[in-house]
Amino acid sequence: MTIINLPADGTLPTDIVCSHNRNRFHDTPFHHHSHHIELYLFISGNVTFFTKNEAFPLKRGYLIAIPDGVWHRAVTRDDVPYERIFLNIDIDLIKQLSTPKTDLYRCFDVSDPKEINILNLGSDAFDDYVNFCDELIPTLDKDAYGNDIHQRILLAEILLLANKVHKIKKQPRNIIPPFLEKVTHFIDENLADDLSLAAFSKHFYLNSTYLDRYFKRYMGLSLHQYVTEKRIEQAKQLLRAGKNVTEVCAKSGFGNYSNFIRSFNKRVGISPGKYRTKYQSK
């Protein structure tokens, strides 16, 4: 089993990233990948999968097709071993593997308000998918002769399989109450403004402590943590667009410059200035 950890800033170092992971007490922050899709196969564990507006328990054989730019996270509910395979592929590579008759991106096309597609792998398709990925993983770390061709063959097989299996017939029940969708929408619309607990309490006419506990119960993190992650993501987008650090601090809702630098460093792993330079050099 090959376990890898992706960069803290959410970027992917290569066109293809694939890992077969097994661990306990897993809690990823909300994240998304730019210009990469993700196929996420759930194998075992007691895990809740989150998107921005939905959360549901996972079942063995769920293959989740996640388009680029979609926020998601997975959180274990206990210490039962959590096993999964995730595969990230650059969108341009999928286009290269597709043909006029066979669009390999089709399984990632979603219709509003859905953010993801949940595919249902039968036992044979499940075994084939795992075998394809386990065969793909060793080819990604070496430049041996023929590895690039081997990778493309395996990717084509994986994507064909994902596009041939059916979506699950009955969508899992969303455990996030409709009220919290209003809260997350309020956050999205007011990232640059006051999003203190007092501001939430005033807007929703609820006790701030109760609201924070209610949010954490369903979302798996506090309001403050969620707001910070959204603001960091907003800051990353602005920095990639070439905005200066001071302007980004203000537009992302970080009233205090020092707090912005500290929070960004902690979450992303590098300073805002270095992050901006990194993307401007590409």
On the question of pLDDT at 74 being above 80, the answer is: yes
Tokens representing residue 48 in the block: 């809740």
How many domains are contained in the chain? 2
Tell me which residue range forms the domain holding 199: 178-280
Position 3 confidence tier, pLDDT thresholds 50, 70, 90 = low
Report if residue 71 sits inside a domain: yes
On the question of pLDDT at 2 being above 70, the answer is: no
Q: What was the pLDDT predicted at 6? A: 58
What are the residues whose beta carbons fall under 8 Å from the beta carbon of 265, sequence distance 6 or more?
A: 271
Q: What was the pLDDT predicted at 282? A: 56
Position 125 confidence tier, pLDDT thresholds 50, 70, 90 = very high
Pure H helices in the chain: 91-97, 123-136, 147-164, 178-189, 197-204, 208-219, 223-240, 245-251, 257-268, 272-280
Among the residue ranges 81-90, 126-135, 202-211, 263-272, the one predicted with the least confidence is 263-272
Q: How far apart are CA 206 and CA 209, in angstroms?
A: 9
The CATH number of the domain where 270 resides is what?
1.10.10.60
Tokens representing residue 166 in the block: 């059916």
pLDDT tens sequence across 25-36: 888 778 888 789
On the question of pLDDT at 210 being above 60, the answer is: yes
Q: What was the pLDDT predicted at 199? A: 95
Report if residue 72 sits inside a domain: yes
Average pLDDT over residues 136-156: 93
21 with 160, same domain?
Answer: yes
pLDDT tens sequence across 153-189: 999 999 999 999 999 988 898 998 999 989 999 999 9
Size (the chain), residues: 282
Report if residue 126 sits inside a domain: yes
31 with 120, same domain?
Answer: yes
